[in-house]
Structure 1
Amino acid sequence: MLDLSLDLLLILAAAGFAAGFIDSIAGGGGLITLPVLMLAGIPPAQALATNKVQGVFGAATAAVSYAARGLVDLRSQWKSALIAGLAGAIGAALVSYLPTDKLRLVLPVILIAIALFFALKPGLNDLDRVQRIAPAAFALTAVPLVGFYDGVLGPGAGSFYMIAFVTLAGYGVLKATAHTKLLNFASNLGGLAAFALVGQPLWLVGIVMGVAQIAGAMLGSRLASRIGARLIKPLLVATSTALALRLIWQML
């Protein structure tokens, strides 16, 4: 049984704050929280479930913060959010039946490609560009695909939502970030609902980290709203690269 000392809870809360800050801007908060949960002695399946608990707090805070600044209309996006939530729940429910090890082999390559795209593509800013796919088609293709992945594995889901919004929906970087957080929250919540039935999350740990996530997400979303692409792009490149390197290190 995990010894929930005050020192351990403070360390986990600090990890939650840092993850909330980074995740609200560029995604990749799981890079911080999941390893910390496992280092605390929590078994992998339970760590994944607990990570979903605290992740919901941060994603919800960032989504509401961006919406309050007029960067995303929650009323027009509820259908996409519902689809993401259902896909996340299905992915989490099927995780034990899917060849996730094979997916992990491809994931670093995809993440490095995303990092290179945002690092090297000229003209990526906060202005909207040409829309390549209708909103309904986007909601029925990109949204459930990324949502399902978020339920199955999770790391990098925010980056995948971002690249879809920028390349397919034609959103500027800041607007894409705002919409990413809404869908991230939905697929996180769906995954949590499924994990809660089988993964036995540590609710106290998840809630303590979640409260810290709220503070980090409020700060991060506020900074991103003010600075925009000049902050989001380099942080997105850094987190995607770090996640890819971590996955490669795990495989080796």
Structure 2
Amino acid sequence: MRSAVVLELIPTELPWLLCIAFVAGLVDAAVGGGGLIQLPGLFATLPQQAPSLILGTNKFSAMFGTGASAWRYARTVRFPWRPVLYATAAAFTFSFLGATAVSLLPKQAVRPLILLLLIAMLIYTLIKKDFGALHRPREIGRRELITALAMGAAIGFYDGFFGPGTGSFLIFLFIRFFGLDFLRASAAAKVVNLATNLAALSFFLPSGQVMLALGIPMAVANVAGAVAGTRMALRGGTPLIRKLFLVLVVVLIGKMGWDLLH
């Protein structure tokens, strides 16, 4: 039944969704936020499908793009692996808890807090002109590893429960607490983000909440976009990623502010 979705979409909606997946992969590879593009596109194109199917299909295709960019970054950019792996393990575990909390906690109660955090993050980055401009990695000791665990747990829970802006928060935290520049922070964020996507899929796939006939071609387009986005980020370096980061945070603030008012 779900395989028929793709056949029904040809020849108009499917090419449109593939374009959306490509752009989402490109943006997400550079600075995160691909879900802001791909998820609304899926909801708008497939209004008749259950939200869980849309979310599962989105996570499925995005995971491949995130994996492609994480692999490329890991091969090209050097960053401290120990705190990244600690954060990744915690994020994977706590994203399950976040997903289970969806039915227990009202999302509307979280939106104002996240909006305030985004505004604070934007102001901090704008005021500190050198924030993330230089790579000044800190010595990795017990304190840093505990910070990585706490950071991964918080972000993992948030991504499982709510989601928007996960990549931006990760980039900011890797710069703030580990002294990475924007390029390396973006690379580290991709590794952690891959773990949260895998955790979500371990719920969506077994429960049949992924339209594979649509998710597979979208995954291919997302990977193509991710490869292009990673190449662009590596060429543009920290200055480009900082600008894209600020633009994305402004967009997130605008979207969440709009959602609160409507």
Q: Using structure 1 for the length normalisation, give the TM-score.
A: 0.90
Q: Name the residue aligned to 1:30.
A: 35
Which of 50, 54, 58 is residue 51 of structure 1 equivalent to?
A: 58
Q: Find out whether 1:158 has 2:167 as its counterpart.
A: yes
| d(CA) in 2 for partners of 1:137, 1:59 | 25
Q: Which runs of 5+ in 1 are unaligned?
A: none
Which of 132, 135, 143 is residue 127 of structure 1 equivalent to?
A: 135
Q: Name the residue aligned to 2:117.
A: 110
The one-letter amino acid of 2:162's match is: L
Tell me by how many angstroms 1:217 deviates. Answer: 1.0
Q: Name the residue aligned to 2:22.
A: 17
Which of 43, 61, 66 is residue 73 of structure 2 equivalent to?
A: 66
Deviations 1:105-124 (A, max 9, x none): 32222223223333332212
Matches within 5 A, 1:81-230: 81-124=88-131, 125-128=133-136, 134-198=143-207, 200-230=209-239
Work out whether residues 174 and 225 of structure 1, in 8 Å CA contact, stay in contact via their aligned partners in 2.
yes
SS of 2:179's partner is coil
The one-letter amino acid of 1:148's match is: F
| d(CA) in 1 for partners of 2:32, 2:12 | 27
Deviations 1:1-38 (A, max 9, x none): 74332321111111111111111111111110111011
| d(CA) in 2 for partners of 1:76, 1:131 | 11
SS of 1:97's partner is coil
Deviations 1:40-84 (A, max 9, x none): 123333222221111111111111010110334668844432222
Q: 178-187 or 103-112, which moves further after superposition?
A: 103-112
Distance 1:76 1:161, change over 3 A: closer
| d(CA) in 2 for partners of 1:83, 1:21 | 27
| Larger-gyration structure (1/2) | 2
Distance 1:247 1:227, change over 3 A: same
Q: 120-129 or 47-56, which moves further after superposition?
A: 120-129
| d(CA) in 2 for partners of 1:32, 1:59 | 14
Q: 205-214 or 85-94, which moves further after superposition?
A: 85-94
| d(CA) in 2 for partners of 1:219, 1:72 | 21
The one-letter amino acid of 2:43's match is: M
| d(CA) in 2 for partners of 1:239, 1:199 | 32
Work out whether residues 22 and 28 of structure 1, in 8 Å CA contact, stay in contact via their aligned partners in 2.
yes
Distance 1:136 1:12, change over 3 A: same
| d(CA) in 2 for partners of 1:178, 1:8 | 32
Work out whether residues 108 and 245 of structure 1, in 8 Å CA contact, stay in contact via their aligned partners in 2.
no
The one-letter amino acid of 2:100's match is: A
Matched residues, percent identical? 33
Q: 191-200 or 139-148, which moves further after superposition?
A: 191-200
Deviations 1:157-197 (A, max 9, x none): 00111111011122121111110000011111111212334
Tell me by how many angstroms 1:239 deviates. Answer: 1.1
Work out whether residues 66 and 194 of structure 2, in 8 Å CA contact, stay in contact via their aligned partners in 1.
yes
SS of 2:180's partner is coil
Q: Using structure 2 for the length normalisation, give the TM-score.
A: 0.87
Instruction: Tell me how large the CA RMSD over aligned residues is.
Output: 2.3
